[in-house]
Structure formats: structure tokens, C-alpha cells
């Protein structure tokens, strides 16, 4: 319609800052979609200058390129190097995993292809030319695409609008090259007198490979890399990894040691200026994603400009489309990056488990898809782990003190807020009984409160009266009688400053409108604005509460629970002592971590003293508060170490819920790295929790040695028989997943449609 303004007509003049793959590909796409567009690219370097060597692209990205611009794809295709294997070399032993599928080409070659395509289309390429200041470009052009990399001057010029968050990490690395082609993607570990170093290498041409050498900052300094010339650095790297290189030298291309920086922006556009590629986001090179993300950004931006009716709508649609994809990639990259930062923790794993751990480090490669890619390798890892033939890792037994769990699945504690006067009723019998019949190795109660004043809500259960104890004995008896082999554990806790609130579905953490009871805590700090302010506990009150815990533990033992967990997480009373954000005491129970640990350890010791010796006792902690000034990952390790020293049989590693203004980094299995670190640094068994939703995740975490048990909450609300269904879906029928006799007829998925219709034999042409 005449007079209609579209994103396409508004983008008649386009300025692109940065001549890397993302900027060049965006220029080519925009010009190809509308030949009338005026597209100009500024690149301060010469056309044959490039940094880095090879570029790895996924089949998904290549498919998008092929669909959008077949000529670019065909030119790239002629130069691809493809391979399937990953080699992992550790302590002189090489393990190879196949079936992965990689495609790479030289970065210089990729740029040449994009230069040619841009010239053919009529893009104005201005090399050796600094782009005008972004504000000037924004005034002169309809659209300004900032593809100017991790050190983006455009992003900094509009920092108040884009609101970037830049995080530097613990390792130093350098990009180098070798004049031969590795026959696989190779990871090699070198244990030197200065510390652990690693090599990442892959081919990108018939006679060339990218080689990245990486190590922790302290190792880099101890090895003297901070005090030698670039040439000496390169020679040293070649000598350290001489076996991998076959004695060949390494080469540099203006390479320098650097630390990786993760870039996140709250906003990707400002007016008619938009960020693309590393200017908008970065993801660690260990998952090979930088160029991939930039190229995918260019595809999405061009499509949105074509599809949307205005520039504002187009830029909003671009960010809406790309942000979740980038966030997912950044989570995977962060997991991979941190795995390599903590590499030293895994060196003593059995060789194949170490290799499996490395392959699954980002959580994108899992046990199940690795089994599809390379069943022989995966089966070898399972045998080394101790899986009987045909037994998935999650269905191997695990022993804690005198208790042997028949599998590694835990029904996580979940508050049901359905008790009357703290007494569990028929709801709890059915709820916990159903999950026990569902096959989990261990079923945990909700947090059971040690006093009426220690409840979170009026609907919370307790163990502070004999009547409550008898009611729990009924639940435990049902589990033991009707689901033999399933263990049931009790979690004891006190609400602290998070008590006297409404039922969850009436207003989570909101104070009761009436009928409140007084709160106590480590310090007189309300949980959030509008919450009741607790009283700071006196020495005498600390003694009383410790005795409440021991009395509840005694009742739990009489009820027949198989395991007891002490709740020291999520901002409840004992957690409130551990976190510096909630413990401001100046006496012997506040200040240093040692003092903040004092009361939780006193309670633990008192409970352990009355809890039967043969029955295990665990502790749940929040390994981070997800808030500035809160518990650090290092302190979480120290907390776990202290409880282990006092006799904890396992640590249940959760995070957060300590302060109301937390900023958790949600994502699949997002809390497991904290459990992983505690397991390897402390040497104590751990229970991993936090958005573990699939049996594939459980198998992956267990087999990689990142956790000993996996606790799942919401999946068990969705499906009480989650564990048995996981066994059926994997074709497993063994002692780790026993169907109750009345349910055995349902141990195979029911048919959902007719399957006996005759198949066509002939297809006749028209």
C-alpha cells in the first residue's frame, strides 16, 4: 500500500562496523535481499589480515547458509575439512570417540569467500578504514550494525543503553597453528611441574590445524609465560605438547595470551543501532561457537528486516528470536569453560570416565546421544564404571553407611503445605506412597519442622509431638511394606526468618494476614520488605532449638525413617547462620565462616548422636546465594568439608533462596557444577539437584562422576512413576527398577493406535 513504511525501506542505507564473518555475511544477505540497498562495511584491518586460524561450523548453521545463499555455501563447501572423531589424551593414554561430525575451514578462506560475495553483490567494502563514530553513522544511515567484536567500541559508546556485563575468567589461552592436519578433534592434558595445561586442536585444511593452549592464570605465571617473548611462548608450548605435534613447531598470527571474557548485554539495540556477534555476546571457544553465533545472528537479522513492518519491530524480533538461543549456548559454554578451569579436580578419574566427563562437560552431549554416536566407547565407560550388562548408570546401586539404595534417583523434598497441626495425613500417605511405588531409590519427605514456631506455613508438617510421630510411622510403614527396597528419608528443618507465611498457592513468602507467630533467626533481618522482622536468637534459645532438633530426630528414628537430612539451605534457620548476608552477629556464632558454621555443626552433632549409627545422615546446603556478598563457591566447599568431617554421609547441594533479591542463573542442570566441585574437592558423596529433568541427564551426571545421586522434584509431580517409566523407556528390567506386582501389567507403554493395517505394496504413477 502506498505510504507504508517497512523495515526494508527504512533500512535503505546500512552501515556495518566490523569486517569479520558476521558483519560480512550480514552485508551480503541484506544486499542480496534488496539490491537497491546501500550497504557499507568498515574494517580497520587489511583484507588479508585475520586473527585465529580455523572456523568450525555446525550442520545446523551450514543448513541455514545453504538455504539463504547457496553460492556462499557452495564456495565454503569446496574448502571444508570434515571429520568425526574426538581424541582425548590423558596420562599417555588416548581414548577416541567417534560419530560427532565436524566441518571446518580456514578463517582467512572464509573471509575471502565473503569478500568476493559482497563485491559481487555491490557491497561497499572499506578496508584499513576506521568507522566514523557510531553517533555520526546513526544520523547518516537508516541502520547501523555493530559487528565490531568483543572489544566493541559501539557497545561502549552506548553502554548506558546496551547495559553490558563482562566477566573475565581464570584461564589464559593463546591461538596458534600447526602445519599439518590432525585426524581428529584432539584434547591433550599435560601435567607439568607448574600445573595442568591443556591443548585443544582441530584441522581446518588438508595441511593445517588450529592449536589452542590453555591453563589457569596461576599456572601461566608459575611457568613464566608472563615474562617471555611471544616467540619463546610459542616454542615452549610446542615442547610441552611435542607428542601431540610429532615434534613439529607451532606458528603465530599476531597471537597473544589472553583471558576469555563472557559478554552479555541487557539490550541488543538502541534506536537504529544493533549489536551482532561478539559485540552482543560471547561463548567460550571450547564449544566452537563464536563464528557460528555471529553467522546465525546475521541470518536472523536479515530475515527479521525482511519480515517485519518497521525497523523497531524488526530489531525487537531479531533479539527475541536470538536471545534464548544465545543464552542456551552461553550456559553450555560457561559449563565447558568452568570444566576446563577446574580440570585439575578430574585428573584422578579412571581414564575412560575422564574422557566421558570431558565429552559431556557442556551438558549438550549426553549419555544417550553419545551412546548413539559411539556405542562401543560408551559401553566401555559403563563397564569401567561398574554397570552390569544392559544396566543404565542410574540403575546401579549406591551405599550410604548401612543403607544400600537400589538406584541413583531421589524424590527431592517438596513442601506440600497440606498438614493440619503439623500432622501428616492421608494426602501425605498417598503422595509419598505413590512416589515410593514409582521406583525411586530414595523418597524424601518435605521439610519436617522441629517446632510449631519453626513452621514455614500453617500447613507444614512437624515432628515435635508424639501424634505427628505416629502419623509419620504410618507413612514409613506403607513404603516399607508396599515398596520393598525403596528407602524413605526425613528432612528436618526450622523456618527461621522465612516462617509464619501463607500457603504457597495463596502467596509464597507472604506474611499471614492474622494468626502470626513470632520468628527467630541468626540476626534480626526480615526476608523481604513487608516480612516480619525476626528476633535474634540468644544463647539459651540456641540450646532450646538444638534440643528441638534432637527430639525430632529421635521421633524420626522411632518412625522408622531410613535416612535423615539436616536442612541447612534456602535461607531457613540453619542456612541463615551460614550466609554472611543473613548472619550479622558479632558473638561466637557470627563473623568468619568458622564461626558461622558453629551452630549448624552443633545441631548436626547433636542429631547425629541420637540418630541410629547404621543409618546415614546427609545435609542440604545452598552452595551460592546468587547475590553479591553472599556465600561463595569456595566457601561452599569449606562448608561441605566441615559437615563431612563431622560425619555427614553425603551433601545435598542446592543453591539460593537465601535472600529475596537473588539473581540465579537458571538453566538445565544449572546447580550441578556446585555439586561436582564439592564431590571432587572434598571427596564426599553428593546429591545433585536443580532442573534435572530427564533420565538422560541422570545417566550423564552419574557416569561422568559429577554426582552420586540425583534428586528430582517437579518431574515426580508430573509423573509419580518417573523412575519406572525411565527404566521402561530404556528397555531396562532389572533389580534397580522393580515394578510393584499389581502394576507389572503396565510396565510397557500402552499402544495408542492401530498398528496392524496392511502396508501399501505398489505406488502407481499418474
Report, as residue numbers or ranges, the catalytic residues: 572
Are the C-beta atoms of residues 160 and 60 closer than 8 Å to each other? no
In the block, cell 577416541 appears at 96
- Cell numbers for 61, please give them: 548453521
Using the structure block, give the residue that is written with the C-alpha cell 571429520: 83
Grid cell, residue 87, equals 581424541
What is the rounded distance in angstroms from the CA atom of residue 28 to the CA atom of residue 17?
Answer: 14
Helices vs strands, H then E, count in the chain: 28, 28
How far apart are alpha carbons 12 and 361 in whole angstroms?
45
Find the distance separating the first CA and the last CA of the chain, reported in whole Å. 43
Residue 425 in grid coordinates: 495425613
Q: Which three cell numbers stand for residue 664?
A: 540465579
Whether the CB-CB separation of 508 and 527 falls below 8 Å is answered with: no
Query: Cβ of 738: how many Cβ atoms within 10 Å?
Result: 18
Q: Which of 161, 120, 127 is nearest to 35 (CA)?
A: 120
Q: For 634, phi and psi rounded to 5 degrees?
A: -65, -40
Q: Which residues are registered as beta bridge partners of 462? A: 449
Q: Cell 527504512 belongs to which residue?
A: 10
**Is there a contact between 674 and 647 (Cβ–Cβ < 8 Å)?**
no
Distance CA 676, CA 147 (A): 37
Question: Residue 755 is placed in which grid cell?
Answer: 498398528
| Cβ contacts of 362 within 8 Å, gap of 6 or more | 286, 287, 332, 333, 335, 336, 339
755-764: which pairs have CB atoms within 8 A and are 24 or more residues apart? none
Please, are residues 219 and 196 in contact by the beta-carbon 8 Å criterion? Answer: yes
Contacts of 637 (CB under 8 A, 6+ apart): 677, 678, 681, 682
Q: Is residue 640 a contact partner of residue 634, using CB atoms and an 8 Å limit?
A: no
Identify the DSSP state of 387. Answer: P
Distance in angstroms (rounded) separating the CA atoms of residues 159 and 290: 22
Cα angle 86-90-95, degrees, rounded to a multiple of 5: 40
**What would you measure as the largest C-alpha separation in the chain, in angstroms?**
93
Helices in 275-418 by DSSP H: which ranges?
290-307, 311-341, 351-359, 367-373, 375-385
CB atoms closer than 10 angstroms to residue 545: 22
Residue of 85, 81, 88 lying closest to 99 (CA atoms): 85
Amino acid at each position: 500500500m502506498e505510504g507504508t513504511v517497512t523495515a526494508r525501506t527504512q533500512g535503505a542505507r546500512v552501515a556495518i562496523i566490523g569486517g569479520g564473518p558476521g558483519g560480512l555475511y550480514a552485508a551480503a544477505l541484506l544486499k542480496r535481499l534488496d539490491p537497491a540497498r546501500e550497504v557499507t562495511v568498515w574494517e580497520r584491518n587489511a583484507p588479508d589480515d585475520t586473527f585465529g586460524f580455523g572456523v568450525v561450523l555446525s550442520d545446523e548453521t551450514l543448513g541455514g547458509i545453504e538455504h539463504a545463499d547457496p553460492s556462499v555455501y557452495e564456495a565454503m563447501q569446496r574448502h571444508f575439512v570434515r571429520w568425526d572423531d574426538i581424541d582425548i589424551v590423558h596420562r599417555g593414554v588416548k581414548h577416541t570417540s567417534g560419530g560427532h561430525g565436524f566441518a571446518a575451514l580456514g578463517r582467512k578462506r572464509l573471509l575471502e569467500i565473503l569478500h568476493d560475495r559482497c563485491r559481487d553483490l555491490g557491497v561497499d567494502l572499506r578496508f584499513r578504514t576506521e568507522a566514523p563514530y557510531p553517533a555520526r553513522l546513526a544520523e547518516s544511515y537508516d541502520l547501523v550494525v555493530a559487528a565490531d567484536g568483543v572489544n566493541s567500541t559501539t557497545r561502549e559508546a552506548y553502554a548506558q543503553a546496551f547495559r553490558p556485563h563482562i566477566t573475565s575468567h581464570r584461564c589464559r589461552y593463546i591461538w596458534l597453528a600447526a602445519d599439518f592436519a590432525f585426524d581428529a578433534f584432539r584434547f591433550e592434558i599435560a601435567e607439568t611441574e607448574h600445573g595442568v595445561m591443556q591443548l585443544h586442536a582441530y584441522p581446518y585444511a588438508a595441511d593445517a590445524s588450529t592449536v589452542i593452549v590453555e591453563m589457569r592464570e596461576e599456572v601461566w605465571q608459575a611457568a613464566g609465560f608472563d615474562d617471555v617473548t611471544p616467540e619463546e611462548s610459542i616454542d615452549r608450548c610446542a615442547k610441552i605438547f611435542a607428542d601431540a605435534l610429532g615434534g613439529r613447531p607451532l606458528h603465530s598470527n599476531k597471537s597473544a595470551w589472553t583471558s576469555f571474557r563472557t559478554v552479555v548485554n541487557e539490550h541488543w539495540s538502541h534506536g537504529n543501532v544493533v549489536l551482532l556477534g561478539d559485540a552482543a555476546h560471547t561463548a567460550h571457544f571450547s564449544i566452537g561457537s563464536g563464528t557460528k553465533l555471529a553467522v546465525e545472528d546475521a541470518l536472523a537479522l536479515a530475515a527479521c528486516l525482511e519480515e517485519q513492518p518497521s525497523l523497531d519491530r524488526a530489531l525487537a524480533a531479531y533479539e527475541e528470536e536470538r536471545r534464548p538461543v544465545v543464552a542456551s549456548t552461553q550456559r553450555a559454554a560457561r559449563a565447558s569453560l568452568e570444566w576446563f578451569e577446574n580440570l585439575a579436580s578430574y585428573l584422578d578419574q579412571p581414564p575412560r570416565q575422564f574422557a566421558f566427563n570431558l565429552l559431556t562437560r557442556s551438558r549438550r552431549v549426553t549419555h544417550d546421544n553419545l551412546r548413539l554416536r559411539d556405542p562401543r566407547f560408551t559401553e566401555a565407560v559403563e563397564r569401567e564404571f561398574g554397570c552390569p550388562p544392559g544396566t543404565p548408570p542410574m540403575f546401579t546401586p549406591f551405599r550410604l553407611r548401612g543403607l544400600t539404595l537400589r538406584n541413583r534417583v531421589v524424590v527431592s523434598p517438596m513442601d506440600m503445605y497440606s498438614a493440619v497441626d503439623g500432622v501428616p495425613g492421608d494426602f501425605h500417605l498417598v503422595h509419598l506412597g505413590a512416589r515410593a511405588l514409582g521406583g525411586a531409590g530414595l523418597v524424601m519427605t518435605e521439610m519436617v519442622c522441629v517446632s510449631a514456631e519453626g513452621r514455614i506455613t500453617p500447613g507444614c508438617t512437624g515432628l515435635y509431638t508424639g501424634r505427628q510421630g505416629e502419623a509419620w510411622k504410618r507413612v514409613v510403614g506403607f513404603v516399607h511394606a508396599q515398596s520393598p527396597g525403596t528407602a524413605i528419608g526425613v528432612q528436618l528443618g526450622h523456618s527461621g526468618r522465612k516462617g509464619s507465611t501463607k500457603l504457597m498457592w495463596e502467596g509464597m513468602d507472604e506474611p499471614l494476614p492474622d494468626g502470626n507467630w513470632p520468628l527467630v533467626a541468626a540476626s534480626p533481618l526480615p526476608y523481604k520488605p513487608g516480612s516480619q522482622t525476626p528476633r535474634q536468637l540468644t544463647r539459651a534459645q540456641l540450646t532450646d532449638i538444638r534440643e528441638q532438633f534432637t527430639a525430632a530426630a529421635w521421633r524420626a528414628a522411632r518412625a522408622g525413617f531410613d535416612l535423615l537430612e539436616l536442612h541447612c539451605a534456602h535461607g531457613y534457620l540453619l542456612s541463615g547462620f551460614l550466609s554472611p548476608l543473613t548472619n550479622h552477629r558479632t558473638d561466637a556464632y557470627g563473623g568468619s565462616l568458622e564461626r558461622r558454621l558453629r551452630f549448624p555443626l552443633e545441631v548436626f552433632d547433636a542429631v547425629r548422636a541420637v540418630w541410629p549409627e547404621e543409618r546415614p545422615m546427609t545435609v542440604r546446603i545452598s552452595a551460592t546465594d546468587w547475590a553479591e556478598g553472599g556465600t561463595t563457591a569456595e566457601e561452599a566447599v569449606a562448608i561441605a568439608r566441615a559437615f563431612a568431617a563431622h560425619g555427614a554421609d553425603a551433601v545435598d547441594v542446592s543453591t539460593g533462596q537465601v535472600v529475596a533479591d537473588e539473581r540465579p542463573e537458571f538453566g538445565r542442570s544449572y546447580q550441578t557444577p556446585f555439586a561436582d566441585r564439592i564431590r571432587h574437592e572434598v571427596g564426599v558423596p553428593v546429591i545433585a539437584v536443580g532442573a534435572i529433568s530427564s533420565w538422560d541427564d541422570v545417566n550423564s551426571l552419574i557416569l561422568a562422576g559429577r554426582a552420586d545421586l540425583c534428586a528430582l522434584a517437579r518431574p515426580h509431580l508430573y509423573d509419580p512413576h518417573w523412575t519406572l517409566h525411565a527404566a521402561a523407556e530404556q528397555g531396562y528390567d532389572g533389580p534397580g527398577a522393580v515394578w510393584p506386582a499389581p502394576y507389572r501389567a503396565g510396565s510397557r507403554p500402552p499402544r495408542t493406535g492401530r498398528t496392524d493395517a496392511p502396508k501399501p505394496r505398489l505406488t502407481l504413477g499418474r
